[in-house]
Each structure stands twice: as structure tokens, then as C-alpha cells.
Amino acid sequence: MCRPEERLRDGQGRAIRYLRVSVTDRCNLRCRYCMPEDGVDWMDHSALLSYEQIARLVGLFAQLGVEKVRLTGGEPLVRRGLHYLTAAVSGTPGIREVAVTTNGVLLAEQLPGLVEAGLTGVNMSLDTLDREQFAAITRRDQLPAALAGLEAALAVPGLKVKLNCVPMGENDGQLVPLAALARDRDLSVRFIELMPIGLGGGFPRRTEAEVLERLEAAFGPARPCPQDEGGGPGRYITFDGFRGRVGFISAMTHRFCDRCNRVRLTSSGFLKTCLQYDRGAALKPLLDAGAEDGVILDAIRRAIEDKPAGHHFTGPAGPGDEARNMSQIGG
């Protein structure tokens, strides 16, 4: 296990503890702010990192001080055998948390195997509880399956469950009902400001202040509550009578770049150090060429040393800005 003085730090002195790993660019939904209706050109399976390659990279990141891994997509549950990867990651020395971000549609079926493999947390994306609106946003009529996945996750003792909603104008009327899910459940309902990446740039954004105003009108004054361990970006509150809590991840109006502790590994093996930029390191070619661990570790260190100080989403576009949709980057 990495000692604190050996922990990987970027050029700004930020310790990197958290690795988000996209296992696929494919998804079984077509959310309008994330993917075109006809989808995108999927990568050939040969272009994806194998589970063995992902497990090896996780081991190297753990040597450098990473403690938490989140498996993402696309939709990670559409890739077969995710429980095998979950077991490999959870068994890596130094890794304390293994979570998955999912739309929930396939979760009820796969959750038992994932939990047995060592899964410690589930983040589920859900923007509405209205079936017709869900179908309009996602272009798929899958709300019952998604809700079944949520209830299955909440039924697992000790599993950390968070629900992520993107306020985008058309779901304004669903913000209060979604937050109300935390009233009687051990659940964190989080509102995530839409970032202008890919198709997301064409949708209206609701700020943290606008959402909070709606919630306090419905539930009364908010009060602060314990924050996540590990320096995550969420700011959490609760209301009288609530068992769970409500959170905000507000990258646009409350920047948290100065305490960013994460990097992303795309499904094609590119180490992406900031969501906005295309800077990083292509690690899959090194793996495919049989590079030794030391060579890969050096590439990781160099990329993270060059991690940008922060995003400039509110400013003019730059030459190194990310142009892909979120499903291709890794959510």
C-alpha cells in the first residue's frame, strides 16, 4: 500500500486517489444530452481494454495511491462478465472502494453477482420518475426496470447508493419528487449541473441555487449534513424528517477543480486527466506492446503531472477541448 508521502500528486500538488474506468462506450439508452438518437460508431471490441488489462492498470494506480475505483460506461452493465472485473479490482491491494455508475436498467439482475464480487457502491442516473418523460429523455421505455434496479440496490445492507439527476429545464417538475426519495430511504439524491460537453452544450442548465430554492419551498429550510469521506465534490444537505440526504455537484457555479482527486481511464485505454481537455496518455498501446510496469508507471506519472489546474467551461472554447460525447469519454 502506498504511504502518504509517496502518494501520486499532480503539478498542482493535488493527491490522486480516485480512478474512474470506462469499460465500454456502448449504452442501452439514448439520453438526449449524452448521445445522438442513432447512437455513435461503437468501437470495435479489439479496441477496448480487456478486463485483464484494466485489472493490471488498477494495480499500478493502486501502487501510486489510488484507493477508489468506479466502473462506468457508456453503460457498464452491458459488457458481459462485469462481476469478474469487479472481483479483480476489489481484490487489488490498496483498493478500498469499488463502485459502479449505471442507468439501473440491468442492475436488478446483475447486482447479486456484483455484490458477491466486492462491489461497495452504486451511483444510478435517473432524471425523472415520470414514465412518459423518461422515455422522451432516454428514447427508451425502461423506467420500471430502472426503478427495480434502484430498489434492489437499496435492499443490499451496507451498499452505498446515490441517485444522480441532471436538471435540464424539462424535468423541473421532477426535482422535488426525486429529492423526496431520500425522505424514507438511506439514499443520497444528487443534482449534477449539466456541463457543456458534446450534446450537453445544447441544453438549458439549472444551477444549484435554482434547485435549492425549489427544494426549500417544498421541504422547508435545508441544513448541512456530513460530507463524503475522501474529498469528493458533492455538497450535502438534508431536511427535517429526511432519513437520507440531498447533494449538489456544481462544476459550473461552484468549481471544485482546486481539490480534484480523480482521473479517468477511457474504454480505449486513454488516461484522461481532466473532463474538459483531451490531454493525457495512451496506455493501451503500451500494454499491447508488452511494456514493463515501470514504463507504464512513468507514463501515468507524466500525464498526471500535466493535469490541468481547472476547466474553463464558462469561457471560450480552446484548441485542446474535448469534442466527444460523454458516452464516449466515460460518465
In the annotated binding site, the residues are 20, 27, 31, 33-34, 70, 74, 101, 125, 162, 195, 257, 260, 262-264, 274
**Residues near 297 by beta carbon (within 8 Å), at least 6 away in sequence:** 60, 63, 64
> Which helix (DSSP H) or strand (DSSP E) does residue 111 occupy?
helix 107-116
- Main-chain phi, psi angles of 292, to 5 degrees: -75, 160
- The three cell numbers of residue 72 are 462506468
Known binding-site residues for GTP equal 20, 70, 101, 162, 262-264
Task: Give the number of residues written for the chain.
Answer: 331
The 3-class SS string of 179-205 reads: HHCCCCCCCEEEEECCCCCHHHHHCCC
List the binding residues for S-adenosyl-L-methionine.
33, 74, 125, 195
* Nearest-angstrom CA–CA distance, 10 and 301: 8
Buried b / exposed e over 6-45, threshold 16 CB at 10 Å, is eebbbeeebbbbbbbbbbbbbbbbbbbbbbeeeebeebee
List the binding residues for [4Fe-4S] cluster.
27, 31, 34, 257, 260, 274
